[in-house]
Amino acid sequence: MNKFPRFVSQQVSRLFPVNSLFKITTPAFLPFYHVVSDRKLPHIQNYPYRNTTQFERELDFYLNHFKPVSLEYLLENRGLRENIFHLSFDDGLKECAEVIAPILQKKGIPATFFVNTAFVDNKMLFHKYKASLVLNQLKKKPNQEAEKLLNEAGFSVDNILSISILQASVLDKVAEIISVHFDDFLKIESPYLTRSQIFGLKKDGFSIGAHSCNHPEFWKISEDEQLEQVQTSMAWINENLQPEVKAFAFPFTDDGVPAALLDKIEQENICDITFGTAGLKYDTFHFHFQRYPVETGGDFIQNIKAEWVYFFLRKWMGKARVKH
């Protein structure tokens, strides 16, 4: 990401009131989250999540400026120029059913929940969450043997959260040394949605989509592996949920996803709609949409204003469309 244009956008956006910025014609606004919780979650240190008060305040902001729409509406009316938003949530964490969905129902907001199919029913743990649990323990009780193993793999306690799925075995070895038991954590904490909870979300009117099988960094795996992740996770969604809209959200980012893969997804009718995370931008593929990552540091409203200014600057330069 080019930091200078982002910095300029942050500064310039301070000069404009929200309402004036939202008069600019833009792509659909698609903010996404992962989790909402009023307690500290030991497995999540890789992004700053909201508590319920913050989340409700942000929902009220969306409702004040945008029209909430369903996934079906978004797909069927993509050419309309109107201020709409569609919320989505990644990783299929249990808080989606226990915390988020009741708040959305209370406010009448539709949403899509993207699940990693290998994690459903707490059968496996995301490597970033493994890293968070290991980091917690190493902060409490440093261990020379564990740190040596990390160093040999090119990491340290300070950058352990940057470990990708390709080095996830290192986390398993370190965890064994420091007595962090991922299987026990999955049984006791049960961080993920169960099938029953997912079926309940669908019954309540929410859309369910796939977010890959085990959340790899797509830019680190081959195109064949990327396709397999999409096909396998979508097959699980189709078999278990028979969704009205077949939806897939690329994990982390769609940067590194080749046009050939998106072509294949369309030609083989694997998905009706897919999503990246590049923010407020158009995309070269008509069925592929870019979402806005809300869970960043800084002031929520100021960040959104800066996103609008950034879009306007890129549009002025002829760069408001993501190319693959």
Computed over every residue of the chain, the mean pLDDT equals: 95
DSSP state of 93: B
Q: How confident is the model at residue 8 (pLDDT cuts 50, 70, 90)?
A: confident
* Mean predicted confidence (pLDDT) in 97-107: 98
pLDDT tens per residue across span 268-309: 999 999 999 999 999 999 999 999 999 998 999 999 999 999
- The CA distance from 250 to 230, in Å, is 9
Task: Give the helix/strand (H/E) hosting 104.
Answer: helix 101-107
pLDDT at 2 over 70: no
Handedness of CA 11, 16, 21, 24 (dihedral sign): negative
pLDDT tens per residue across span 157-182: 999 999 999 999 999 999 999 999 99
Q: How confident is the model at residue 6 (pLDDT cuts 50, 70, 90)?
A: confident
Residue 182 tokens read as 């991922």
Look at residue 291 in the predicted model and tell me its pLDDT: 98
- Those residues whose C-beta lies under 8 Å from the C-beta of residue 75, and which sit 6 or more positions away, are 245, 272, 273, 287
pLDDT at 310 over 80: yes
Cα 288 off chain centre by: 15
From edge to edge, which strands make up the β-sheet containing 31-33? 288-290, 273-276, 247-249, 207-210, 111-115, 87-89, 31-33, 292-293
pLDDT tens per residue across span 14-64: 888 898 899 888 999 999 999 999 999 999 998 999 999 999 999 999 999
Look at residue 16 in the predicted model and tell me its pLDDT: 84
Look at residue 9 in the predicted model and tell me its pLDDT: 86
pLDDT at 1 over 80: no
Look at residue 3 in the predicted model and tell me its pLDDT: 72
DSSP of 117-128, one letter per residue?
A: TTTGGG-S--HH
pLDDT at 242 over 90: yes
- The CA distance from 273 to 270, in Å, is 9
